Structure 1
Amino acid sequence: MLFSSQRASASRHGVATSETRAPIGYAVAALNKLAQSDLLDKTGLRKQTEHLVYTTTRGGFRTAAAAGRAFAKKKSSAPGVRSATATSSGLFDLTPTEDEQMLVDVVGQLAAEVVRPAASAADDACATPDDVLAAGIELGLPVLGVPEKLGGISDERTAVATTLVAEALAKGDMGIAVATLASGAVATAISLWGDDGQQQTYLPAFAGPTPPVAALALSEPTVLFDALSPSTVATRADSGYTLSGTKSAVVRGDECELFVVGALLDGRPALFLVPSDPTTIQVEADPSMGVRAAGMAKVTFDAASAELLGDTDAAAYTEAVRLSRIGWCALAVGTAQAVLDYVTVYVKEREAFGEPIAHRQSVAFMVADIAIELQAMRLLTWRAASRAAAGEEFAREAALARRACAEKGMKIGLDGVQLLGGHGFVKEHPVERWYRDLRAVGVMEGGVLV
C-alpha cells in the first residue's frame, strides 16, 4: 500500500480526524454514492467498494468556433457558507485519516481499472472518454471541496483529500486526472471565495447528477508567462465587469459552461466568474506535448460579461495560484510513482548478457534515485496541502513543492525513458507518455486546484 492504513493516534497537522467531520465522513458519503452506480459492475469494483462501505458504516480533441454550452443556474435558498479550516493537534503527522485512506483506495482502484486502460487512446484523441469522466462524477469528485451545507461532502477544507485524490488518479494518467478534476477546481474556488449569491447560484449545479463542465483559466500564451501578472484585463461596466484577453491550456475548453478566469483589475490580479457566451467567447483547440487527454483549448474573451470572485486586492487570486500549483505537484507525484512502479518491474525482468539489468549498479542506483526524489516530492506536497487545509501560511511550502516537483519530476520521467532504453522511446510502453506529462508541471498554471 502506498499509504499507511493505520490511523494516527493524534490528528495530522492541518487535517482533522473523522470525529470532527460530518457523522459518516466525506469518504463514506462518496462511497455510498458510488455504490449506487452501474460503473462498479462494469469495472469489477463492486465487491471491494461494498466491503469498504460496510466495514466503515458498521462502526457508525475538437475545435469549436465558440463556447456554445450555456450554464444552467440552479438557485438555492440555502445561505452561503465557508468551509472551516481543518483542526490540528499541533503535531506534525502526515498520515492519512481513515476517511482519506478509504477514498484514496477507491480512487486508486478506479485509476488502475478504468483510467490506465483508457490513457493511450485518450492521449491520441486529445480527449477523455465520457465513461471515464462519469466515473469521477459518480464518485463525487466535483463536490469534494464543496461544503456539505451546499451539496458537498465535507464541512472542512479538503486540500489534503484533494491532493491525495489527484495523486491517486495521476497514477492512472495525468491528462485524464486533470480532465476529471477540472470542474471540481471551479466548485472549490466558488466555495472558497464566492459570496452568498454566487454560492447559491452556481454550486447547486455541481452537486447535481450532471455537473457542468467548468475550467480554471489562469495560463496565457505568452513567453515567460508570470501567473501573478496576467495580460487579460477586466473593465468595470454598468452590469458588473467585462473581460478581454486570451487564455491557454484551458481544460475541456470547447465544452465549458463556466470559467473562473484570472485578469488584471486596476493593476491587480483578480478572479472572475464567466459563464459561456458564444457571442463574446471564442474557443479553438490547443493540443500540447503532454497532458493531452485533458483536451486543452485556447479561449479568447472579447468583452465577456463577468462577476468578481473574491477580493480586489489580489489575495484570492494569489491563493488560487498557490493551491493550483499544489494540485499540479500532486499530479506529478502520482505520475512519478507510476514511473517508479513500472521501471522497477521492467529492470528485474529485462535481461542483458545473461542476467537482469537490475543487477547492474548503474541501473539499480538510478531506480533508487527515483524513489528518493519521489518521496521528497510527496512529503513537500503533503506538507503544503496540510498547511493550506489548516488555514496557515503556505506560500513557502507551495514554492518548495513546486520547485522540487517541476525539476525532479521531469528528471524522473527522463530516467524512466532511459531505463527502458529503446523501449522507452516507443508508444508500446507508457513511460514516454509519462515523461511528456511530467514536463508540464513546471509550466502549467490553473486547471486544477486543491
Structure 2
Amino acid sequence: MSYDFDLFVIGGGSGGIATARRAAEYGAKVGLAEYDRLGGTCVNRGCIPKKLMVYTSHFPAQFQESQGYGWSPVKSTLDWSKMITAVNQETERLNGIYQRMLDKSNVQVYRDYGKLLDPHTIEVGNTKVTADKILIAVGGHPVRPNIPGIENTIISDDMFTLTEQPKRLVIWGGGYIGVEFACIMRGLGSDVIQIIRRDKILNGFDEDIRTTIQESMEHHGIQILKNCTITSIEKTSQGLKIAVQGDQNNEMVLADTIGLAATGRKPSLDNLGLENAGVEVKKEAIAVDKYSCTSQENIYAVGDCTDQINLTPVAINEGRAFADTHFGGKSRTMSYENVPSAVFSTPEAATVGLTEAEAKEQYGEDAIKVYRSKFRPMYYVLPGKDEKTLMKLVVHQETEKVLGAHMVGNYAAEIIQGVAIAVKMGAKKSDFDATVGIHPTSAEEFVTMR
C-alpha cells in the first residue's frame, strides 16, 4: 500500500524532532505535527529557560562573595521584566533554529494537532495524511491536585510569563522542579516556603544528596514544611491563604497572589485518538517495548508520554535508536542503565548509577563499600562562607566496580557528566585511584577518596 509518508511524527519536542531529522537523513519521507512552539517542554517551559533563571539567581551571592577577594560592595537590583523578556527571547531564537533544521532536513511540518484515526491515518487540523510508521512524542504536562481553590495557583510553565516577581511564594512539591524553583526564587530575593509530603525533598535520589541539599536550602532561608499537604487555598485581599495540614499541627500560610503547584507531571494523551489505533495505555502512559513499539506494530512512542525516564536526552536517544533501527539498518535499543541526571538547585546536584540504598538492596549491605567526602571548596575560603560540597562513590567490594557516583556542589552536573562515562564503561575504584587528579579542583576528590 502507498502512504503519504514513510514516517509521521506527532509532537515537535526534542524527541520528535531528533527522530524526524535522523529518519530523514536515511532518506525517509517524514511529516511532523506540532500545534505549539517547536522544541517542546525543555526548550520552551523547562530546561533552557529554567537554567537561565538559575544563572540569574546566583549573581546576588557572587556580588557578596567578591568582597572576600577585595572587591568593593556591589549594590544592584533585579529588573524582573528585563530578565523574563531576555529568557523568552532566547527560547524564541531556539524555536527558529528548530524550524530551520527541520526545513533543511526536508521534514514537512504541520502546525496543528495530530490525532490518530486508525493505525495508519492521522488527522492534522483539517487534513488527513497516511503513514507507514507513526511515532508519538507528545511529552507530558504538569498536573494540579484536586483541592478547593487550586485554580488560584500556577504551574511551572507559568513561571516564565510572570510580569512581576512574587515577594512571598509558596511551592507545593518536593521533586526536582519544586526544589529548583524554590532555590531560584530565594536566590532572587523572594521569601519562599516549600511544602512537602515527606520528611525530605527529592524522593528517589541518594539519601546524602537529599539531606545535603535540604540542609543548604534551609540554611539559605527557605522554609520547608515537612510531612504536610495543602487542603485548601483561598484568595483574599492580602494574598493567598493556604491551609496546611501536617502530622503535628495545622496552620495557615500566606503567599502573594500566586502559589506554585509542582506536584508532578503526566503524559499528554488527551485527544490523541489512541483508542482508534489500538494503542495500549498502562498507568496513564503509552506502553512500549524495548524498541519503543506500542501494542500496534507500526506505531511507536518515545519520551515523557511513555513515562520511562523523563529526561530530554533520553527522549532524543530513544528517537534516534528507533530511526537507526527502522530506517538506517542499525538495530539498537536505548539503554536505561547508568543514565546521568542533575538537579539545578543551589547547591547543584548530579548523579549517575545506583544510590547507596539501591546498591545494598541489589547486592547486599556487606557487599557494598561507600566512599564519601564532604568539604568546603577553596572558592568559599576567602569569602568566609560555610558552603559544603559532597562527593560519593558507591562500590561493589568483590569486583571493585563503581556502581554509583553522586555529587552536591558547584558545577556538579559538569563534573558528573565526565564521571558518567567511566561508570558507563564499568570502571573500577582502582581505575579512579590510578587517575591523576587536576589540582586544585573539587573534581579531583573523585580520584583521591580513600
Q: TM-score range by the shorter chain?
A: under 0.3
Structure number having the greater helix percentage? 1
Larger Rg: 2
Normalising by structure 1, report the TM-score: 0.24
Normalising by structure 2, report the TM-score: 0.24
